[in-house]
């Protein structure tokens, strides 16, 4: 298989996450000929610390024109699940949505972006090698399960290849190095490939999204109402769905019940209109936990509404509470014009206000807005890998620093073998949940603190002893340069880097191991292993656990 030029790979893989709106302060920008990899910043884009120039400016023989029609072959998948395609005998990279490895097709160049272009598929000439029937009828529209029609083995191969290319081209680890194959571990598959998500958020809307072939249909009023998932690229159009194969069966029962009842003109709650900012129902969030006594699923239903009018929800609450697995019905009231599902006020409409879940033998109380790993089954596998990498001796003598600790789950699972765990997290509610979870599990050797790790100064590090092990589990933008410099100075014997974005992960381990050349800072870590884990089958997401040891 031909290699993708490294300058194009940097472009493709360090762009923004596909499902999240990114504020201008966290953009990852590039110039066209001389890409700049930028860091997640703190609103101060002038800080030259945040930039790193790459030097590869390999010339390209072929430059397609806009609207040019080309015969292409898809070679692999890039971040966001876009197909990485090539014209025969050319190194130029073209990206295509819904193109899968091995597929040959005719495409039209829709956009040119410096060293790569985007194409729209016009016609498949020969399908990809690993075609399977997508079990979900919405798979080709909803944008969530981009690779459901690719065999699971092929999905895993594509993810593994993506991590490998990034480690080589962005992380600058040579695959000619005899240790390389020992460092690069094969991807850990997920045994449960459907119904694995414990949380799904659906939106109510006044504009139903229709596929091209149905666009001629004129829908008015109630017929245009929808409850489902945002169509890719639209903030105002909703793909109506009555089930999602990624969420639990009881969650699908609830979704079907709401679908059957919410548009009843007698009951009357209207969906929120994101243009006129009128209407009531904004989101339906379904969370699946587990009853610790019976080991059966327990479900929380959260209605996000624009105002507090419980009488409007009453008929729906009556129908849903009759489903035996439902133990909690919540109402988050969000009066802002934004699209977030977190309310300024929260009310319990039925049952309790939390559900429970267990992870590595600990119990967690999850409220409507708490963060919890979305695939509980695979989180067990991920956390076991983290524990193995951390390799705590178990004599309660070691200090663990848990950066980006969220609700404390990683730190709490390590606490039984550690002397003390210090966790840092920016969201105050998550820190409060971490304290609550520690108490609930009778753990007293943890300290969780609120702080923005993108804004650390020279005082950071004065509130905890030198750690033996650092766990770092940042969001997609990865670690800020300030934090990387701090870690290079701190010189903890071990870093376990947990990442949900292999591109920024490769960039950060490059700095930790090889240094920050532009600033004459030396690296001091050796990459011992990088373990991709498939947490989300059928989607483009890849998790990695990396072990770094002080040289
Ligand atoms: C990928 S989650 C990991 C959470 C946790 N380690 C777990 O496994 O559940 C990343 C966490 O980093 C937090 N975070 C994001 N940016 C941050 C920042 N600048 N400073 C501190 N925490 C941040 C997020 O709120 C989120 O809880």
406 Cα: distance to centroid of ligand 1 (angstroms)? 5
pLDDT in tens, the chain (551 residues): 334 444 444 444 443 322 222 122 222 222 222 222 233 333 333 332 333 333 333 434 678 889 999 999 888 888 777 888 988 777 788 999 888 888 899 999 999 887 789 999 999 998 887 888 999 988 878 888 988 989 999 999 999 999 999 999 999 999 999 999 999 999 999 999 999 999 999 999 998 888 766 666 677 778 889 999 998 888 888 999 999 999 999 999 999 999 999 987 666 689 999 999 999 999 999 999 999 889 999 999 999 999 999 999 999 999 999 999 999 999 999 999 988 888 999 999 999 999 999 999 999 999 998 889 999 999 999 999 999 999 999 999 999 999 999 999 999 999 999 999 999 999 998 999 999 999 999 999 999 999 999 999 999 999 899 999 999 999 999 999 999 999 999 999 999 999 999 999 999 999 999 999 889 999 999 999 999 999 999 999 999 999 999 99
Q: 71 a known binding residue? A: no
State which H helix or E strand residue 92 sits in.
none
Q: Which residue, by CA, sits nearest to atom 7 of ligand 1? A: 406
Round to whole Å and give the CA distance between 422 and 463: 9
Q: Check: CB of residue 502 under 8 Å from CB of residue 162.
A: yes
Long-range contacts formed by 60-64: CB under 8 A, 24+ apart: 60/5, 60/90, 60/91, 60/92, 60/115, 61/90, 61/91, 61/92, 62/87, 62/90, 62/91, 62/92, 63/92, 63/112, 64/92, 64/94, 64/109, 64/112, 64/117
299, 341, 371, 528 from 354: Cα distances, Å: 9, 17, 12, 40
Round to whole Å and give the CA distance between 35 and 30: 5
Q: 518 a known binding residue? A: no
Report all structural domains of the chain as residue ranges with CATH numbers, in order of start.
6-137 (2.40.50.140), 199-359 (2.40.50.1070), 374-550 (3.40.50.150)
Round to whole Å and give the CA distance between 467 and 401: 6
Query: Mind giving me the DSSP string for 358-370?
Result: EETTEEEEEETT-
425 Cα: distance to centroid of ligand 1 (angstroms)? 6
| Pocket lining for ligand 1, CB < 6 angstroms | 371, 373, 404-407, 409-410, 424-427, 430, 452-454, 473-475, 500
To test ligand 1's pocket by mutation, which of 426, 454, 477, 498 has the most ligand atoms within 8 angstroms of CB?
426
Q: Check: CB of residue 288 under 8 Å from CB of residue 296.
A: no
Q: Which residue, by CA, sits nearest to atom 26 of ligand 1? A: 406
Tell me which of 74, 190, 405, 500 is the catalytic residue. 500
To test ligand 1's pocket by mutation, which of 373, 390, 474, 536 has the most ligand atoms within 8 angstroms of CB?
474
474 Cα: distance to centroid of ligand 1 (angstroms)? 5
Place of tokens 């020969």: 126
User: Of how many residues is the chain composed?
Assistant: 551
Cα 372-204-357 angle, rounded to 5 deg: 20
Token pair recorded at residue 262: 């919410």
User: Is 500 an active-site residue?
Assistant: yes
Q: Which residue, by CA, sits nearest to atom 1 of ligand 1? A: 475
Q: Where are the beta strands (DSSP E) in 7-68?
A: 36-38, 51-53
| Strand 399-403 with 446-450, pairing | unpaired
548 Cα: distance to centroid of ligand 1 (angstroms)? 20
Which phi and psi angles does 109 have, rounded to 5°?
A: -70, 120
Q: 473 a known binding residue? A: yes
To test ligand 1's pocket by mutation, which of 364, 378, 425, 486 has the most ligand atoms within 8 angstroms of CB?
425
Place of tokens 């040289």: 551
Q: Which residue, by CA, sits nearest to atom 4 of ligand 1? A: 406
452 Cα: distance to centroid of ligand 1 (angstroms)? 10
Q: What is the pLDDT of residue 307?
A: 95
Dihedral sign for Cα 81, 82, 83, 89, please: negative
Q: What is the pLDDT of residue 61?
A: 66
Q: Is 34 exposed, middle or buried (0-12, 13-18, 19+ CB in 10 A)?
A: middle
Token pair recorded at residue 199: 């949380």
- Helix, strand, or coil here: 200? strand
Q: Which atom of ligand 1 is nearest to the CA of 404?
A: 12
Token pair recorded at residue 188: 């850990």
What was the ipTM of the complex prediction?
0.99
Which phi and psi angles does 168 have, rounded to 5°?
A: -75, -50
Q: Which atom of ligand 1 is nearest to the CA of 430?
A: 27
Q: Which residue, by CA, sits nearest to atom 27 of ligand 1? A: 406
- Specify whether the backbone of 547 is left (phi greater than 0), alpha (psi in -120 to 50) or beta: beta
Which phi and psi angles does 71 have, rounded to 5°?
A: -95, 130
Round to whole Å and give the CA distance between 132 and 419: 50
Q: What is the pLDDT of residue 216?
A: 66
Q: How many CB atoms lie within 10 A of CB 352?
A: 15
Q: What is the pLDDT of residue 265?
A: 65
Q: Which atom of ligand 1 is nearest to the CA of 42?
A: 19
Q: Which atom of ligand 1 is nearest to the CA of 500?
A: 1
Cα 353-447-50 angle, rounded to 5 deg: 100
Q: What is the pLDDT of residue 57?
A: 39
Q: 160 a known binding residue? A: no
Cα 473-476-480 angle, rounded to 5 deg: 70
Q: Which atom of ligand 1 is nearest to the CA of 455?
A: 19
Please give the distance of CA 234 from its chain centroid, rounded to a whole number.
Answer: 19
Q: What is the pLDDT of residue 17?
A: 29
Q: Which residue, by CA, sits nearest to atom 12 of ligand 1? A: 404
Round to whole Å and give the CA distance between 504 and 160: 16
Q: What is the pLDDT of residue 114?
A: 76
Scored b (16 or more CB within 10 A) or e, 261-283 reads ebbeeeeebbbbebeeeebbbbb
């Amino acid at each position: 298989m031909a290699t993708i030029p490294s300058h194009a790979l940097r472009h493709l893989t360090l762009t923004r996450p596909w499902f999240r709106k990114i504020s201008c302060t966290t953009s990852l920008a590039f110039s066209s000929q001389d890409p700049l990899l930028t860091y997640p910043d703190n609103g101060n884009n002038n800080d030259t610390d945040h930039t790193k120039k790459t030097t590869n400016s390999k010339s390209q023989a072929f430059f397609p024109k806009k609207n040019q029609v080309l015969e292409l072959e898809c070679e692999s998948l890039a971040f966001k699940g876009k197909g990485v395609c090539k014209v025969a005998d050319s190194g130029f990279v073209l990206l295509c949505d819904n193109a899968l490895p091995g597929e040959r097709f005719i495409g039209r160049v829709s956009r040119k972006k410096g060293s790569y272009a985007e194409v729209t598929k016009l016609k498949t000439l020969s399908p990809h090698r690993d075609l399977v029937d997508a079990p979900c009828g919405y798979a080709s529209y909803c944008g969530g399960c981009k690779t459901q029609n690719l065999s699971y083995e092929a999905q895993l191969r594509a993810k593994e290849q993506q991590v490998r290319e990034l480690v080589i081209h962005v992380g600058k680890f040579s695959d000619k190095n005899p240790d390389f194959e020992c460092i690069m571990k094969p991807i850990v598959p997920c045994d449960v490939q459907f119904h694995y998500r414990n949380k799904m958020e659906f939106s109510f809307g006044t504009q139903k999204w229709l596929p091209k072939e149905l666009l001629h249909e004129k829908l008015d009023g109630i017929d245009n109402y929808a409850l489902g998932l945002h169509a890719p690229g639209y903030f105002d159009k909703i793909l109506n769905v009555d089930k999602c194969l990624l969420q639990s069966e009881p969650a699908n029962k609830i979704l079907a019940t709401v679908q059957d009842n919410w548009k009843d003109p007698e009951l009357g709650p209207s969906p929120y209109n994101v243009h006129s900012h009128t209407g009531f129902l904004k989101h339906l969030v379904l969370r699946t936990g587990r009853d610790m006594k019976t080991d059966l699923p327990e479900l929380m239903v959260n209605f996000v509404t624009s105002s507090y009018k419980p009488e409007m929800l009453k008929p729906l609450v009556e129908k849903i509470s009759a489903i035996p697995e439902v133990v909690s019905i919540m109402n988050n009231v969000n009066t802002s014009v934004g699209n977030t599902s977190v309310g300024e006020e929260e009310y319990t409409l039925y049952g309790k206000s939390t559900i429970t879940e267990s992870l590595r033998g600990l119990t967690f109380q999850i409220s409507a807005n708490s963060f919890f790993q979305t695939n509980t089954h695979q989180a067990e596998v991920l956390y076991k890998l983290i524990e193995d990498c951390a390799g705590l001796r178990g004599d309660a003598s070691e200090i663990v620093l848990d950066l980006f600790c969220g609700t404390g789950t990683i730190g709490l699972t390590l606490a039984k073998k550690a002397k003390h765990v210090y966790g840092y997290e920016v969201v105050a509610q998550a820190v409060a949940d971490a304290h609550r979870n520690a108490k609930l599990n009778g753990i007293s050797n943890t300290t969780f603190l609120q702080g923005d790790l993108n804004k650390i100064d020279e005082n950071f590090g004065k509130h905890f002893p030198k750690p033996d092990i650092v766990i770092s589990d940042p969001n997609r933008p990865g670690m800020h340069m300030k934090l990387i410099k701090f870690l290079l100075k701190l010189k903890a014997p071990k870093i376990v880097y947990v990442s949900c974005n292999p591109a920024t992960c490769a960039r950060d381990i490059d700095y930790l191991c090889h240094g920050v050349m532009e600033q004459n800072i030396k690296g001091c870590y050796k990459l011992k292993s990088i373990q991709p884990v498939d947490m989300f089958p059928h989607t483009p997401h890849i998790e990695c656990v990396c072990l770094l040891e002080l040289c």
